[in-house]
Amino acid sequence: MTVSFESPVDLRSDTLTRPTPGMRKAMAEADVGDDVYGEDPTVNALERRIAELFDHEAGLFCPSGSLTNMVGVAASVGRGQELLAESRAHILRSEVGGHGAIAGVTSRTWISPDGTLSADDAIALAEQPRGYNQVGTALIAVENTHNFSGGRIADIDELRRLRELTDARGIRMHMDGARVANAVVASGTSFADQGSAVDTMSVCLSKGLGAPVGSVLTGPSALIEEARYLRKRYGGGMRQAGILAAAGHYALDHHIERLRDDHANAELIARDVAAAVPSFVDLDTVETNIVLLRTGRAGVSAESYAHLASDRGVRILAMNEGECRLVTHLDISEEQARATGRVLAEIAEQTASAVV
């Protein structure tokens, strides 16, 4: 029987979630003030709450993850100094070159083909001899979970080792933790474990946590003060932002533990597709809410696969060369995930056999 959906199942990203009725109510009732004057109680409480969660001194509420990364990086890296990150890091690939264009940050990358973190690979770049012509490495950025490699989790022991190595060299560490809550829930680590592995942390409330807007940067008070100044310079100072911060509080109260459901749904879909065409999915890399479908391995273009899926009511992204990405989230039920798995498996079978 052909599966069909009443409305499309949209798995292009976990940013697509809409605020739930409970979240909207919390937003409507939020106590607010002018946050540029530091007078919004709901924002102030959220900044303190998230800083405490990561065991950091202070927090800064921003409208987007790109902005928390921007001000977090720029607070540590002077103009012309260097940021090191993995070659497919969101900071370098998907923030429209902002770190270079606006903050004057230069960068080099190490390569992790499977997206896992190797402290040795990261530090090897910083170790390269430095003469009069070379810039100084000021910061290493890690991404947890790693988006473009399919939501891979950074191993906590590697993170801690990298922190020791960077500390010894006077290099700071930043985590693009857009999906760090997924990493925490899936790895059994704590938010404090993640926070203590880095100097600054950017956490998004508008990905798996389901808020419509908002990210928080945490770190030492002096760095956060510098970031607050930069946030205003970049146009990110907000006024009665407590309406948005209230959604963040609600997300922390209600949407962390349920990330396990998203992870289970991602696994359901991945297993179905792998059962149909094993080469499409590396099951052992499906650790959180993101699944990469490696259509190119069977000679199927990512674009045509995504197109066929869309025709059947499932929206996914043709993302990397020969790879589609799907992301499970708050607005996807187990039933929809099961039906999606069947649809994507059928298309995998049809397209792969047509190529052969």
Ligand X SMILES: Cc1ncc(COP(=O)(O)O)c(C=O)c1O
Site residues (vs ligand X, CB under 6 A): 15, 64-66, 69, 90, 143, 147, 176, 178, 204, 206, 215
Question: Hey, what are 36's tokens?
Answer: 């540029």
Nearer to ligand X, 154 or 270 (CB): 154
Q: How far is CA 260 from CA 14, 18, 69, 242, 327, in A?
A: 14, 19, 26, 28, 13
**Residue carrying the six token digits 């309406």:** 243
Torsion angles phi and psi, residue 232, rounded to 5:
-70, -40
Kindly tell me which of 69 and 112 has the beta carbon lying closer to ligand X. Answer: 69
The residue with its CB nearest to ligand X is 65
3-class secondary-structure state, position 306: helix
Q: Which is nearer to ligand X, 66 or 187 (CB)?
A: 66
DSSP β-ladder status, 172-177 and 137-143 = parallel
User: By C-beta, is 15 or 106 nearer to ligand X?
Assistant: 15
CB of 9 to ligand X, least distance (A): 19
Q: How far is the CB of 189 from ligand X (least distance, A)?
A: 18
| 37 secondary structure, DSSP code | G
Q: How far is the CB of 207 from ligand X (least distance, A)?
A: 6
CB atoms within 10 A of CB 286: 21
Question: In the structure encoding, which two tokens stand for residue 86, read together?
Answer: 């993995």
For residue 146, what are the β-bridge partners?
152
Q: How far is the CB of 3 from ligand X (least distance, A)?
A: 28
Yes or no: say if 196 and 159 are a contact pair by the CB < 8 Å rule: no
Looking at beta carbons only, is 262 or 346 nearer to ligand X?
Answer: 262
Instruction: State in angstroms the smallest separation of the CB of 214 from ligand X.
Output: 8
